[in-house]
Structure 1
Amino acid sequence: MEYGVVLKWWLLYQALLVVGLPFAARLLPDAPDRGASLAVPTAVVLVTVPTLWVGQLAFGLWVVVGVAAAVVAASAWLARGGIDVPRRPLAEVAAVFTAAFLFLIVIRAAADGVHPHGGEKFLDFGLLQSLLRAEQLPPQDFWFAGERVVYYYGGHLMASILALLSGTSGRFAYDPALAGFYAMAVTAVYGLASTITASRFAEADPVEGSTALGVAAVVFVVLLVTLGVPWYYLAVPAAFAAAVFAGSTRVRAGMLAAIVYGFASNLVTPVRLLAGTYDVVREAVVAAGVKSNRAPTITPAEFDMWHASRVVETGINEFPLFAYLNGDLHAHMMSVAVLFLAVGIGLAYARTPESARRRRLALLFGAFPVAAATILTVNTWSFPAVAGVAMLSVALVDADPRTLLPGSLARRFEQSSAAVRELQRVLLGVAVAVAVAVLGLVVAAPFVQSVLLAGASNQHPAAFPVPTKLGAFLLVHGLFLVAFGAYLVSRVARDGSDWAAAALAAVAAVLLAATFDPVIAGVRVGVVGVLLAGPILAGAWLLRRRDAVGFEGVLVVAGAGLVVIIEYVYVADAASYERYNTIFKVYAQVWALWSVPAGVALAALAARKPDVSRLRSVGGTALAVLLVVSASIYGGFAVASHVDSADDATLDAFEHVNDERPDEGAAVEWLNDKSGQPHIVSAPGTTPYTWQNPASSLTGIPTVAGWAHAGNYHSDSAYRTRVSDVGVVYETSEAVSRAIILRKHDVQYVWVGPVERERYDVRVTDEEPGISVAFTNENVTVYEVTHSELVEQ
């Protein structure tokens, strides 16, 4: 285990916390932690955006150091008068970040390095390595030699910046970078939820310790009996729940939000365990429908961490814990920290008085566009979400958006009708969202020009996909739907009859969704999202405008809106079928957006207030504990299985290749020591997610034709031409033909390993002029090409 690497990266993140704090404190000056929970992503964004621009001319260690020095100088200038941050909230932020960082370090140390199976690690690691070799941005596409990468690489740029600042090679930077992104997200969700709760539920008292312990014990026994899982999988989350629910409402909300994002799962695992014991549950799951290749029941012995992320028929319904356990350094995981920064900007706007017009304008048209630009480069799929948060912040918070306009123009919008005023709010919110999007495109102009426009032709909008089945929808979103439904009802319910009416309405909505299956003009039109998420959206919107809920309502609306929208429209792209990729990328955003209000809702349900009966308080606590413990069962199984399968603890990304394919590993290490980005030839990865292109994927050195993904990003016909060229290099018996291809693609090395020998009748030899053996062992030979000595036509 590389403890020195872990310590070095932890210290780097603490330094970023210090650097980012003056900026974050100006964003949320009245938050309990003064914005400290967003300080690290703030610092990372402030270094990344200028680096993106400067990198178009030059990129490398000294560029990154220079930009970082400028950010440090700006931070010092902002902090010249001191920053008043209470010690306890700051200590909470440091503790949460450290716990989350070390948790994922342990997870990654138990993994087996970078490999191509079951994920995008070859893509992600190749991008990181390519950036660390690059002298200019965008870097060369390591799967399409000679061309710049056409992919959102902003998150990998962040990781490479951190690697350069810490002096860490790519093979040891991958895991600490991933752990840092996870810790940034967990810490941000903790801070956002606790900040929202501190201002909304200051009068709420902690649950009595005896009540919290008793409720947790009852939930523990009930689930132990009904699910048949080992007791220790339930004891830990039950004990955690008892401790957290007995704490202050602010800390409780933060901890619950952190658990919902960082450790909880959807309800697939507990429900399928119940279905394995009770026929009535199994029949209900079968009737409601899950993915066709997923059995409705499982036993503890049949647990598979992949099952819970694959229950929607036409998509991947990932949640954070699955994604981080799987270990890809992928866009939808790295962008969450930036998305939470955008949420923090929205929260800052909501907490800014209407009279502070300049600050509100600066947040909307200064801070939001920077967050939008950053997330555009990290994960383009999340770009609309930032604009959406800006739109909803304007439309739903207390400040009248007309006051953003010049006085004479604002007076023209004066209306006496409440309905018209609400419509004006929405329209002005949309206008702000459009402005944020346009300004974000301007801030990210280098990325837009070199990447976004180049790859846009491979995607187009489409409508009316295969609707989500009722069962899959409830299993995937049930944790949030139950928590939000109960929370919203609790804000307006006067007595037990109101709760009964709400319960009947929920049952009616589920029954209608199960029986109503409209077909319009021969097309099935899904109603599950509208019937189940729609009321949550409408309720949160209405109660936010009535000030019955706070900024958490804005985030409930944002997530529900995304869930409903993708039931009807999606982005069709060459990388997936129908809305497969849309569900994958959008559901990840929904989970992130909903994790903050989930913490607030669960904390509020268990809060003791003078006007709430003891029975209702106990009932709310019981529901919250049941949801927390149920959603933690997957984590117990998955983490235990992950750790049990480990052989040795290391953060070395080359572990898999060195353990499973040592000869190829030795050749990879030899090639990895070469500087710059010389071009190589290796067998094209025409069957992705298998062992192909290890040389380019593990070193970042561009190969002529890598995985078939490159055809999606560039041109399928150009990719096929390159595949044909590679075949000529390996199989032709004519030295002239081989030389023509080697010159065409400026090839310096020809990789001949097991994959190449299996696929081709390899005729490359060092007997030809200009070709010599540079490295060889039992299974791999790497030939070096000297262009000046190659045969002429």
Structure 2
Amino acid sequence: MEFGVVARWWVFFGVLLVAGLPVASRLLPDAPDRGASVAMPLSLVVVTLATLWVGQVAYGQLVVGGVFVAVLAAAAWLARGGVEIPRKPLLEVVGVFTVAFVFLIVVRAWADGVQPAGGEQFLDFGLLQALDRAGQLPPRDMWFAGERVVYYYGGQLMASIGAHLTDTAPRFAYEPALAGVYAMGCTAAYGLASTIAAGNGGESRPVGVPTAIGGAGVALAVVVLATGVNWLVVAVPAAAAAVVVTRPRRVRAGVLGAFAFGFASNLGPVIRLLAARVDVVRAAVVAAGINADRRPAITPEAFDMWHASRFMETGLNEFPLFAYLNGDLHAHMVSVPVLFVAVAVGVAYYRTPARQRRRRWALLWGGFPVAGAAILTVNTWSLPTVFGVAALAVALADPAPATLLPTGVQRWTRRESAVGQSVQRVLLAVGVAAVGGVLAVVIAWPFVQNVLLAGASNQHLAVLPVPSQAGALVFVHGLFLAAFGAYFVSRVATSVAGWVVAAAAAGAAVAVAVAVGPVVGGVGITAVVLVGPVLGAAWWLRRRNAAGVECVLVAAGAGLVVLVEYVYLADAASYERFNTVFKVYAQVWALWSVAGGVALAGVSERRASTGGLGAVFVVGLVVAASVYGGLAVTTHAANADDASLDALEYAGNAHPGEAAAARWLGDRRRGTRIVAAPGVDPYTWQNPAASLSGVPTVAGWAHAANYHSQAAWEQRVDDIGVVYETTDAASRAAILEKYDVTYVWVGPVERARYEIPDLSADPGIEPVHRTPAVTIYRVTDDELVAPRSGPITVTTTPQAATATAPGAQTARSPARFVTVTSSASTAVTSSQWGTKLRFS
């Protein structure tokens, strides 16, 4: 274990905390922790945006260090009058971050580094390595030599900034950066839920210790007997839940919010375990409809951590614990702390009185645009959510949106009817949020110009996808739907009878959705039946002051769940709305984690109508949602190897020769380009040279076709086939010069795919590095054979076609074998693709 690396990164995040406190304390001055829980991502957002602009001129360790010093100086100036942070809440923030950081460090140290299968680790690590090599931003694309990255790389930029400031090589920075993102998410969820709960006011009566212990014992016994899991798997969550429900509301909400984000899973695993023992549950699961590849019932011995994220036929339903255990440093995960910054701005706006118009303007057109600009670079999918939160905060806050307008204009906005006032609230809220969105684009303009506007556009809006099955929705969202349903009922129910009626209505809605699969006019409305009531209740209770700002987050998440049932972004990366569900549900989980913490804290209070039953319900829900985490972590620990944070550990163990060659190649600094077998089969061991070193290759994984151009990527794939298989030195030289190649990589993947001649027989190509698995050849441009000119005959087999012209260019042929003959009687045979040769 690299303890020194862990210590340096923990100190780095501590400095981010201190640097962010002056702004965070102004953002949430009345929060118990004065905004300390979002200080780390807040300061990281500022550093990243400043680096983005400066990086257009130069990027590297000195540049990052200079920007960081400037940000620290600005923070010191803002703190010149002192920053008062209550000691206990500040220690809570540090403690939550440290526990979460160490937890994921240990879990990831048990893993074996980045792998190509089952995720985007090759993409994420390749981007991190490319940034390490970059002299300017955007970095060079490691999968498309000669072009810059046209993918949202802001999350990897944040990790690269940390690597530079802690003086950590990318191979050892990947895991601490991932752990830091996870810990910042847990900390922000804790602080925001705590802040919202503390601001709700009213009497807070935690249950007594005997009730908590009894509830935990009952929940533990029921789950163990019903599912067959070892009691040790859920003993710690049960004990923790029993302690938490006896704490004050602020602490309850914070811990339960952090739990919902950092450790809870959906209800699928516990339901499938129960189905293995109860036939009626198994029959219900079969009838409800989940992914056909997932068995309706499992045993603890057959547990697989992957299955809980794949219940839906029409999309991925990942949740944070699965994603961070899996180990991608990917956009939907890295963007969560930034999304929480936007949530903090929304909470701040909601709590700002109408008379403080300038502060409300600053939050709307300063705070939200900064958070939106950062999230635009990290995960562009989340930009609409940031300004959706902004619009809902404006619409649901007590001050009317019209009070943001100049005084002379406000008299034109007066409406007498309640309906008119509500419609006006929504329209004005959307309008001011749209202005914030435009400002976000301006703040992130270098990224917009060089990445978003430069990338291939193969995405478009589409409508009415295949609807989700009711069972899948219950599996995926049941934890939060249960929490919010109970919470909203607790706001209005005054007797046990009220709870019984609410429970019966909820059960009826689920039964109708599962049994009937509601359809209106040929359009499925299952999601509306299941999630719509939560959305409606959140709006209704907030407008009647029966609940607080948590309703903004409930409404935002519910709106997203319903929206993707009808509108999605069609792209080349996935089938129909598969990718849309994946990206959007990650945001829903984050938003609902904070609201869920507040809701569960409210339900667990001792009330005249329920006594301590609410606390028992909360403890039971916590235990049920912990089954997955207990099984996943214990399984992960049982399969652990030597503890290490080396991202290249897997490569070194499974492919030592290629790993050693990639490290050697990575030591060759800027300007290096290679050619290697393209990753035509993503998520397999392909193109390790570029992914592990960051050195650009002519054509990497097929992802590059989505970001640049399918036709251009296919052209490069064909050209690579010529380089590896031609017997004509002039033909090979033409391709090498076309892409300004400096090294040619020949490893197991290349040998398996191509029939490679002796490359060193060509002038200008010589071997410079060998391992038992890989030979790397250096290309010397001025020694290569000059490309031939004159008549060129192109013949395809088995169907022949002829094209004769100097500098001929063929169309891509479906034939597998292509022979090219020049006037000098030289030939090239490509057995991988039909080819598109260009001779200059």
TM-score scaled to structure 1, two decimals? 0.98
Offset, 1:500: 2.3
1:343 equivalenced with 2:343 (yes/no): yes
Give the CA RMSD over aligned residues.
Answer: 1.1
- Residue 291 of structure 1 is matched in structure 2 by 291
Partner-residue secondary structure (3-state), 2:524: coil
Q: Does the aligned pair in 2 maintain the 1:606–1:617 contact within 8 Å?
A: no
- Residue 37 of structure 1 is matched in structure 2 by 37
Offset, 1:11: 0.5
- Residues of 2 paired with 1:95 and 1:202: CA distance? 28
- Residue 270 of structure 1 is matched in structure 2 by 270
- Residues of 2 paired with 1:415 and 1:590: CA distance? 34
- Residue 367 of structure 1 is matched in structure 2 by 367
Where do 1:724-763 residues align within 5 Å?
A: 724-763=718-757
Partner-residue secondary structure (3-state), 1:462: strand
Q: Does the aligned pair in 1 maintain the 2:512–2:518 contact within 8 Å?
A: no
Q: Does the aligned pair in 1 maintain the 2:276–2:297 contact within 8 Å?
A: yes
> Could you say which structure has the greater relative contact order, defined with CA pairs below 8 angstroms and 6 or more residues apart?
1
Bigger Cα displacement from structure 2, 504-513 vs 350-359: 504-513
Q: Does the aligned pair in 1 maintain the 2:456–2:706 contact within 8 Å?
A: no
1:653 equivalenced with 2:650 (yes/no): no
- Residue 768 of structure 2 is matched in structure 1 by 774
- Residues of 1 paired with 2:688 and 2:678: CA distance? 10
Q: Does the aligned pair in 2 maintain the 1:730–1:764 contact within 8 Å?
A: no
Question: Cα gap change, 1:301/1:201 in structure 2, threshold over 3 Å: closer, same or farther?
Answer: farther
Partner-residue secondary structure (3-state), 2:761: coil
- Residue 663 of structure 1 is matched in structure 2 by 657
Alignment counterpart, residue 630 of structure 1, candidates 614, 624, 631: 624
- Residues of 1 paired with 2:772 and 2:126: CA distance? 25
Where do 1:509-548 residues align within 5 Å?
A: 509-517=509-517, 524-548=522-546
Offset, 1:501: 2.1
- Residues of 1 paired with 2:552 and 2:192: CA distance? 13
- Residues of 2 paired with 1:677 and 1:4: CA distance? 32
- Residues of 1 paired with 2:273 and 2:515: CA distance? 26
Question: Cα gap change, 1:254/1:586 in structure 2, threshold over 3 Å: closer, same or farther?
Answer: same
Partner-residue secondary structure (3-state), 2:84: coil
Q: Does the aligned pair in 2 maintain the 1:695–1:701 contact within 8 Å?
A: yes
- Residue 139 of structure 1 is matched in structure 2 by 139
Partner-residue secondary structure (3-state), 1:458: coil
1:709 equivalenced with 2:707 (yes/no): no
Bigger Cα displacement from structure 2, 207-216 vs 572-581: 207-216
1:160-217 C-alpha deviation (Å, 9 max, x unpaired): 1111111111000000000010011000000000001111146302221111111111
Where do 1:52-131 residues align within 5 Å?
A: 52-131=52-131
Partner-residue secondary structure (3-state), 1:491: helix
1:559-597 C-alpha deviation (Å, 9 max, x unpaired): 000000001110000000100000100000000000001
- Residues of 2 paired with 1:662 and 1:456: CA distance? 36
Amino acid at match of 1:84: E
Q: Does the aligned pair in 2 maintain the 1:552–1:597 contact within 8 Å?
A: yes
Question: Cα gap change, 1:133/1:617 in structure 2, threshold over 3 Å: closer, same or farther?
Answer: farther
Offset, 1:62: 1.6
Where do 1:246-325 residues align within 5 Å?
A: 246-325=246-325
Offset, 1:519: 5.7
Which one has a bigger Cα radius of gyration? Answer: 2
- Residue 228 of structure 1 is matched in structure 2 by 228
- Residues of 2 paired with 1:249 and 1:689: CA distance? 46
Partner-residue secondary structure (3-state), 2:769: strand
- Residues of 1 paired with 2:552 and 2:519: CA distance? 33
Amino acid at match of 1:223: V
- Residues of 2 paired with 1:676 and 1:240: CA distance? 51
Amino acid at match of 1:4: G
Q: Does the aligned pair in 2 maintain the 1:201–1:249 contact within 8 Å?
A: no
Q: Does the aligned pair in 2 maintain the 1:201–1:604 contact within 8 Å?
A: no
1:568 equivalenced with 2:562 (yes/no): no
Offset, 1:512: 2.5
Offset, 1:509: 1.5
Q: Does the aligned pair in 2 maintain the 1:133–1:677 contact within 8 Å?
A: no
1:721 equivalenced with 2:721 (yes/no): no
Q: Does the aligned pair in 1 maintain the 2:747–2:773 contact within 8 Å?
A: yes
Amino acid at match of 1:713: Y
Q: Does the aligned pair in 1 maintain the 2:140–2:147 contact within 8 Å?
A: yes
Bigger Cα displacement from structure 2, 48-57 vs 582-591: 48-57
TM-score scaled to structure 2, two decimals? 0.93
Amino acid at match of 1:595: S
Offset, 1:226: 1.3
Q: Does the aligned pair in 1 maintain the 2:724–2:756 contact within 8 Å?
A: yes
Amino acid at match of 1:605: V
Offset, 1:558: 0.3
- Residues of 2 paired with 1:216 and 1:497: CA distance? 25
Higher helix fraction (1 or 2) = 1
- Residues of 2 paired with 1:234 and 1:55: CA distance? 48
- Residues of 2 paired with 1:274 and 1:526: CA distance? 29
Offset, 1:499: 1.8
Offset, 1:353: 1.2
Amino acid at match of 2:565: E
1:501-526 C-alpha deviation (Å, 9 max, x unpaired): 212221222232234446677xx522
- Residues of 2 paired with 1:456 and 1:139: CA distance? 17
- Residues of 2 paired with 1:433 and 1:421: CA distance? 18
Offset, 1:415: 1.6
Where do 1:412-427 residues align within 5 Å?
A: 412-427=412-427
Alignment counterpart, residue 594 of structure 1, candidates 592, 607, 621: 592
Q: Does the aligned pair in 2 maintain the 1:127–1:142 contact within 8 Å?
A: yes
1:681 equivalenced with 2:679 (yes/no): no
- Residue 460 of structure 1 is matched in structure 2 by 460
Partner-residue secondary structure (3-state), 1:774: strand
- Residues of 2 paired with 1:432 and 1:669: CA distance? 50
- Residues of 1 paired with 2:375 and 2:772: CA distance? 46
1:439-459 C-alpha deviation (Å, 9 max, x unpaired): 111111111111112336210
Amino acid at match of 1:208: G
Q: Does the aligned pair in 1 maintain the 2:518–2:526 contact within 8 Å?
A: no
- Residues of 1 paired with 2:344 and 2:754: CA distance? 55
- Residues of 2 paired with 1:295 and 1:655: CA distance? 33
1:469-513 C-alpha deviation (Å, 9 max, x unpaired): 011100100000010001001101122232222122212222322
Instruction: List structure 1 segments (4+ residues) > 3 angstroms apart after TM superposition.
Output: 515-521
Question: Cα gap change, 1:202/1:74 in structure 2, threshold over 3 Å: closer, same or farther?
Answer: farther
Amino acid at match of 2:613: G
- Residues of 1 paired with 2:695 and 2:748: CA distance? 19
Gaps spanning 5+ residues in structure 1: where?
A: none
Offset, 1:691: 0.3
- Residues of 2 paired with 1:512 and 1:102: CA distance? 45
- Residues of 2 paired with 1:345 and 1:19: CA distance? 18
Offset, 1:383: 0.5
- Residue 604 of structure 1 is matched in structure 2 by 602
Offset, 1:666: 1.3
- Residues of 2 paired with 1:210 and 1:452: CA distance? 58
Amino acid at match of 2:706: N
- Residues of 1 paired with 2:499 and 2:216: CA distance? 23
Offset, 1:387: 0.6
Where do 1:19-30 residues align within 5 Å?
A: 19-30=19-30
Q: Does the aligned pair in 2 maintain the 1:517–1:525 contact within 8 Å?
A: no
Offset, 1:225: 1.4
Bigger Cα displacement from structure 2, 438-447 vs 385-394: 438-447
- Residues of 2 paired with 1:677 and 1:131: CA distance? 13
Partner-residue secondary structure (3-state), 1:773: strand
Alignment counterpart, residue 581 of structure 1, candidates 564, 579, 582: 579
Gaps spanning 5+ residues in structure 2: where?
A: 788-840
Aligned identity (percent) is 62
Amino acid at match of 2:557: G
